[in-house]
Amino acid sequence: MSSRKSGLGRGLDALIPSDAAYAVPARQTQRDEGLSMFRLLNPDGTVRDRLPVTLEEMKELYADMVEARAFDSKSMALQRQGRLATYAPFRGQEAAQIGAAAALLEGDWVAATYRDAALNWRAGYPWGALVLGRTGDERGGQVPLDVNVLPPSITVGGHMIHAVGLAWAERLNGGSRVALTSFGDGATSEGDFHEAMNFAAVYSTPTVFFCQNNGYAISYPTSEQTKSETIAIKAEAYGMPGVRVDGNDVVAVLVAVKEATARARSGEGPSLIEAVTYRLGPHTTADDPGRYRADDESGSWESKDPLERVRRLLERQGEWNQGWQDELEASATERIEKAVEWAESVPEPTFEEMLQRMYAEPTAPLREQMRLGGDPVAEQTSPLPRRSPGKALRKSTGGDSSPGAEVNLAQALNSALDSALANDERVVLLGEDIGRTGGVFRITDGLRERHGADRVFDTPVAESGIVGAALGMAIAGLRPVAEIQFLGFSYPAYDQIINHVARIRNRTNHRFTAPMVIRMPYGGGIGAAEHHSESTEAIYAHIPGVKVVVPSTPRDARSLLLAAIDDPDPVVFLEPIRLYRAVKEDLSDSDDDVEIGPIRIERSGDDITLISWGAMMKETRAAASALESEGVSVEVIDVRTLAPLDREGIVASVEKTGRAVIVHEAPLTGGFGGEVAATISERALYSLRAPVQRVTGWDTIFPLKRSESHYLPSVDRIVRSASEILENH
């Protein structure tokens, strides 16, 4: 696999002189095509001022662009032959991508798109890995350990906030690396662009936003996407510099990005660069640009070919001839052919490998699916080492992080966060209003004062930005705990969770991971306003790559949160609002020994099993007591972890009692109780003495306060359902 290292532009001696009829200071903005644009190298190969690169460096840039174009041509051919998936060509954008990558230093972060093969390669992503990924193999995302380049983002714009999180983590760790994120002009219409720009500006992160404005978002021209005169001018709204540069001038791009990275490294914050360029080919191999481009449009841009202008410059300097050109192309072709040969020789992934990429260690359901779907296999684990669950966080090292003797669930969560912050410097908290005020429910109260404003962050009101930034932090080595004020507010971040947080381990074959927690208060019973009482936990439990935890007691709240923070995989941690202060427990003897996964049998019985989690455990416990008073022996299960689900524990209980009632406040249809019922039917059918019953919320939107009592499952409904199957079966 071929890759290149960054860092060009080190020497500034023997600068290439100007042979233009005029010269202006390189720093002066040029007036071109009616809009302000920075340019150093004209389309005809003449220069406007001395170029701040040596001839040898210029030849290196040219050689890189030649190789990039060769890769693009080869990829197009491979796709036409059916050897690659749909491909997004970048011909015409080589100067923008090579110039930007050449301005970076080794170790800098890159978060780019599906069209940025040249940029990613110049930053260290091997050609072979890029080809392997495009053949439809996730192992193509496993870049070398010394390469900080994320796999190409397929979703438009969602990756920009990851660069902010990466840069934010770098600043917190006292490092000097920057994060560059590349995107097209179409992505600037996405909300993630604005959230990323705002977060970067607010926290002064060392981020470079690099927009390759190639004129179109598929077929939609830039002039119709925005009423701004330029993309670069959007930077003003966020209090950062915006620069418009000729994206077909590799030197101008190099200079602009180097200035932006120097500014970022010195602590001056982010910048936005708009590189005006043009894709000479289609949007993808599935596109027909003739349907939306004028007949003569591509021809006018062919005359501005970024490779041709460098070739003409080198020819004037006596540094180019056809023999050298042939050598460059032959050498590039050989490397690319070897990369393709390597990628196509990689054995097909096995069934087990497919399942092993989702988590640090295959979960119990996945281990069972390995046995069911393929040949019997031995217990397998990830190649990545991990600590025992929670070991690093669970012993307090002093301060105020030990739980009190009698605490409620809210206090137990605060204690867990306090302990995690005290015992692991990688842990940071971020979310709306969690610092100064301690959050809506005061779960983080006092933590900013005890651990500092550089560990507990108030953020802008932007859920996608919060989760996306946390993902970047996690990839960079931190252990972020992000708070979303209510589960019902989490949906703007759903794209980040399902498309990025859950997939990063799989997309990179364990190279990059997301050890992070997303805390979400959920559930009704408090008479809150609309959107504040959602109980849609099933949509998160359905996402492979994410774990979902729901505590119902103070002891579990503390222990499970510590386990979640220490877990190598992302955890959605749902906190039942109406239980925050409903009951207290003595935690003075707590050993914080709970692990994510196993159910907890709260009460042992022989006649019927009541199964619930989180907020509805209060009513379920009360129903069990009522049934016990009538002489019924009730077993009560607190599921605690929805994903991965402890199927064996549930089945063992139902096999013993022969009857089951599942209780949750989410609507019936599509609720997670259906998954539990299916598990029982599949594995304990012949042990059942009665059909499995579900007592749930109704198939309506969660109502406002005056109808709330009609919606929530009551103790009476649970008792009636249990009594019915006990009497009739």
Mean pLDDT by 10 residues, the chain (729 residues): 47 45 33 66 88 93 97 94 91 96 96 96 96 91 92 92 97 95 94 96 97 90 87 95 96 96 97 95 88 82 93 94 96 97 93 91 91 55 36 46 77 96 97 94 96 96 96 97 94 95 95 97 87 91 97 95 97 96 86 86 97 96 97 97 97 97 96 97 95 95 85 94 90
Same domain, 557 and 641: no
| CATH number of the domain encompassing residue 605 | 3.40.50.920
pLDDT at 36: 74
Rg (alpha carbons) of the chain, rounded to whole number: 29
Count of alpha carbons within 13 Å of 644, Cβ hemisphere only? 21
- Which of 544, 561, 586 is the endpoint of a domain? 586
Tell me the HSE value of 305 on the side-chain side, using a 13 A CA sphere.
15
561, 529: one domain: yes
340, 420: one domain: no
Give me the residue label for tokens 């669950």: 389
**Do 613 and 553 share a domain, yes or no?**
no
Does residue 702 lie within any of the structural domains?
Answer: yes
Q: Where is 184: in which H helix or E strand?
A: strand 179-184
Structural domain ending residue among the three candidates 586, 615, 631: 586
> Does residue 388 lie within any of the structural domains?
no
**Does 301 map to a domain?**
yes
| CA proximity to 608, closest of 640, 637, 629 | 637
Contact between 510 and 362 (Cβ < 8 Å): no
Rounded CA gap, 634 and 624, in Å? 6
* Distance, CA of 90 to CA of 571 (rounded, Å): 37
**Cα separation, 559 vs 562, whole angstroms:** 5
**pLDDT for the residue 387:** 34
The residue range of the domain holding 284 is: 15-345
Residue with tokens 């790559």: 545
Tell me, yes or no, whether 103 and 228 share the same domain: yes
The whole-number pLDDT of residue 399 equals 42
Residue 365 lies in a domain: no
Same structural domain, 151 and 259:
yes
Residue 20: predicted pLDDT = 37
Q: Residue type for 729, please?
A: H
Verify that 449 and 427 share a domain, yes or no. Answer: yes
Question: Distances from the Cα of 652 to the Cαs of 352, 550, 609, 685, 720, in angstroms?
Answer: 27, 21, 10, 12, 24
| Global confidence as pTM | 0.90
Output the DSSP codes for 294-327: -TTHHHHHHTT-HHHHHHHHHHHTT---HHHHHH
DSSP classification of residue 113: B
The beta strands (E) that lie in 198-264 are given as 207-213, 216-217, 220-221, 242-246
Question: Rounded to 5 degrees, what angle do the CA atoms 327, 329, 334 make?
Answer: 95
| 609: β partners | 635, 660
CB 240, CB 269: distance < 8 Å: yes
Instruction: Give me the CATH number covering residue 270.
Output: 3.40.50.970
Q: How far apart are CA 618 and CA 30, in angstroms?
A: 69
Give 562-596 as a DSSP string: HHHHH-SS-EEEEEEGGGTTT-EEE-TT------S
Longest dimension (CA), the chain: 102
Q: Which helix (H) or strand (E) holds 547?
A: strand 547-549
How many domains would you assign to the chain? 3
Give the integer Cα–Cα distance in Å for 367 and 351: 12
Q: Do 520 and 649 belong together in one domain?
A: no
680 vs 648: CA distance, rounded Å:
10
**What does the angle CA 196 – CA 199 – CA 205 come to, to the nearest 5 degrees?**
100
Does a cis peptide bond (omega within 30 degrees of 0) precede residue 644? Answer: yes
**Cα–Cα distance, 131 to 2 (Å, whole number):** 11
Q: Is 592 domain-assigned?
A: no
One domain, residues 128 and 273: yes
Same domain, 312 and 455: no
> At a CB cut-off of 8 Å and minimum separation 6, what does 555 contact?
412, 585, 587, 590, 594
> Could you tell me the two tokens for 594?
């709970």
Domain boundary among 302, 322, 345: 345
User: pLDDT at position 9, please?
Assistant: 42
Same domain, residue pair 582 and 606: no
H or E element that contains 694: strand 693-697
Cβ partners under 8 Å of residue 149, min gap 6: 109, 110, 112, 120, 123, 124, 125, 143
Q: What is the 3-state secondary structure (H, E, C) of 478-544?
A: CEEEEECCCHHHCHHHHHHHHHHHCCHHHHCCCCCCCCCEEEEEECCCCCCCCCCCCCCHHHHHCCC
496 contacts: CB under 8 Å, gap ≥ 6: 158, 161, 464, 467, 468, 471
Instruction: Give catalytic residue positions.
Output: 532
**Within this chain, do residues 318 and 414 fall inside the same structural domain, yes or no?**
no
